[in-house]
Amino acid sequence: MSRKQQLLKRHRRNKRLGLLMALVVLVALGGFIWWLPLVLLPLLWVAHEAWLADHLFYGAGEDYTYRFPAADEIPGVSLQGGRLMAEGLQPHHDGTLLLQVVLRCGVLGRLFDPGVRIQGPQGEDLQVFERGVRGVRFVNLTGLGQALADGKVTLRGRHCRLVGQPRLWAFAQEDLRRKRVMVIAPHADDAELAAYGLYSQADEAWVVTLTAGEIEAEHYQAMGLSAVEAARLKGRLRAWDSITVPRWAGVPERNCVQLGYFCLQLPAMRDAPASPFGSREADMADTRPFRTLNQLALPGDDGAPTWHNLLADLRAVLREARPQVIVMPHPVLDPHPDHVAAQQALHEALQGLDWQPETLLGYANHLHDNDRWPMGDSGAGVALPPMTGDQPVGRPCTLMLDARLQRDKAMALGMMHDLQPRPPFKRRLRRFIQRWLAGRRLSPYGENEFFRKAVRRHELFWVLKGRHQGVDRETV
């Protein structure tokens, strides 16, 4: 059982115990006033949906425990009357800027999402944190280097207070857009969610999708298809998406590769490398139907869904593309089983190759302990995700996306068939309640939660391997 599954199991157990205790109290009250439970039960359910339904598997009062090198910290940082001063910051700094703050919220910060308002020459940003926050958090100030050096950045808490003096880290980074970039996507849409802004601006880009993503096809069963037919249709559609949607960003069709392995079978393939693992739902064990759009001939074109074939495919694509930058799921932060196996497959495929990338970047489309991150609204900045352990995660690396690029990214996500179906009624009802009682806004781009989480002014990566101050380093 993965760490995320363990946390979710504990969360559900605690919730059931809490609901059982509430039910006992209501029954006891009903012994005195028979109609009171009938009134309180729906009110308690609405309160739960508004304020207790988030999957946060850590305490909002815990500090985030990132440990960044002292050499990257900027001296002379102070916050006076809301104005942020950074005397030691070099003007025109164009790398990633992260500000450590201590937040304290009161009653309003438990009912409404607390956050930090950042005012600069280009306008305002609001970076949101957990309700009830009381501890160390990290705000992303990338793009504000000159304004910081000029003393033209102000910070204000929304439903919370900033306590004490902040600390600032400045991370130098290359212009990754001037490189050959390859994005490793376990499923169609992972590349767009994590790195559309990067690959759409790169001098040369490749998007390599590992699976057809055919499972969980209930939406297509509602059209009258059997479970097997629905899974096969979904796999065909997502294979099409993986090839065609990057074309919206100008990626040549030849540079879009769909390997066609089966969803949630990558870990089993890894554990038995020579054995084929067919689809869980599509009743097929041949990857070829999902690879028909590829223009590149690959070793796995015999259709066998094995780990050996996956590694051979990746090596062939790496030799052909010779990417300088590879973007892949983060080995620590992203717990999805296929994402974990995808980065492991890439590392195995790179072993012994004569071409090695200069930079490995990690991304996190899922987290172990917070299903809402990045918190806040579409278009807002991306603060650092929760980190309450001591595992190294690498140096943060932020790419800025202007309004036009954000809209293009939203349109790319809208083309992805997996993000098009309406959410279940219960989820839509919960969002309606949260909108009117907790003040949460919907994304203007679509109903799927990823439109809110992924269409932002920042794309956040972590440098797992790269050149820092002229020295090759691996940090994870």
Residue 362 pairs with which residues in a beta bridge? Answer: 328, 462
Q: Could you tell me which of 322, 323, 186, 340 has the C-alpha nearest to residue 258?
A: 186
Amino acid code (one letter) for 2 = S
In the prediction, which pLDDT does 470 show? 40
Q: Which fold has domain 176-366+402-455?
A: Rossmann fold (3.40.50)
Query: Residue 161 is inside which H or E element, if any?
Result: strand 161-171
Could you tell me whether strands 153-158 and 83-86 are parallel, antiparallel, or unpaired per DSSP bridges?
antiparallel
Among 33-37, 55-59, 263-267, whose mean pLDDT is lowest?
Answer: 33-37
Q: Is 319 helix (H, G, I), strand (E, B) or coil?
A: helix
- Over residues 187-213, mean pLDDT: 98
Token output for 28: 């006891």
Q: Could you tell me which of 98, 143, 96, 95 has the C-alpha nearest to residue 123?
A: 143
Percent of the chain at pLDDT above 70? 91
Token output for 291: 């690879």
Among 51-65, 116-130, 192-206, 443-457, whose mean pLDDT is lowest?
Answer: 51-65
Query: Residue 237 is inside which H or E element, if any?
Result: helix 227-248
Asked if 218 contacts 226 with a C-beta cutoff of 8 angstroms, the reply is: no
Cis peptide before 374 (omega within 30 of 0): yes
- Evaluate if pTM is beyond 0.85: yes
Among 11-20, 104-113, 199-208, 451-460, whose mean pLDDT is lowest?
Answer: 11-20
- Over residues 423-443, mean pLDDT: 94
**Sign, Cα dihedral of 108, 109, 113, 118:** positive
Q: Is 118 helix (H, G, I), strand (E, B) or coil?
A: strand
Amino acid code (one letter) for 239 = A
In the prediction, which pLDDT does 469 show? 42
Separation in Å, CA 182 to CA 42, 177, 366? 51, 11, 20
Domain ranges of the chain: 3-52, 70-171, 176-366+402-455
Token output for 181: 């970039």
In the prediction, which pLDDT does 87 show? 85
- Over residues 55-72, mean pLDDT: 92
Could you tell me whether strands 256-261 and 359-363 are parallel, antiparallel, or unpaired per DSSP bridges?
unpaired
Cβ partners under 8 Å of residue 368, min gap 6: 3, 4, 7, 57, 333, 335
Our CA dihedral for 54, 55, 58, 62, rounded to 10 degrees, sits at -30
Question: How far from chain centre, in Å, is Cα 88?
Answer: 32
Burial class (CB in 10 A: 0-12, 13-18, 19+), 123: exposed
- In eight-state DSSP terms, residue 71 is G
Among 43-47, 281-285, 297-301, whose mean pLDDT is lowest?
Answer: 43-47
- Over residues 166-186, mean pLDDT: 96
Q: Where are the alpha helices (DSSP H) in 172-295?
A: 190-201, 218-221, 227-248, 266-271
CA–CA distance, 286 with 116 (Å, rounded to integer): 51
CA–CA distance, 137 with 381 (Å, rounded to integer): 14
Assign domain 70-171 to its CATH architecture: Sandwich (2.60)
Question: For the CA atoms of the chain, what is the radius of gyration?
Answer: 24
Question: How far from chain centre, in Å, is Cα 360?
Answer: 17
Would you place residue 91 in the very low, low, confident or very high pLDDT band (cuts 50, 70, 90)?
confident
Q: Is the pLDDT of residue 143 over 80?
A: yes
Q: How many residues are listed for the chain in this entry?
A: 476
Among 8-17, 42-51, 147-156, 313-322, whose mean pLDDT is lowest?
Answer: 8-17
pLDDT tens figures, 448-470: 999 999 999 999 999 998 765 44
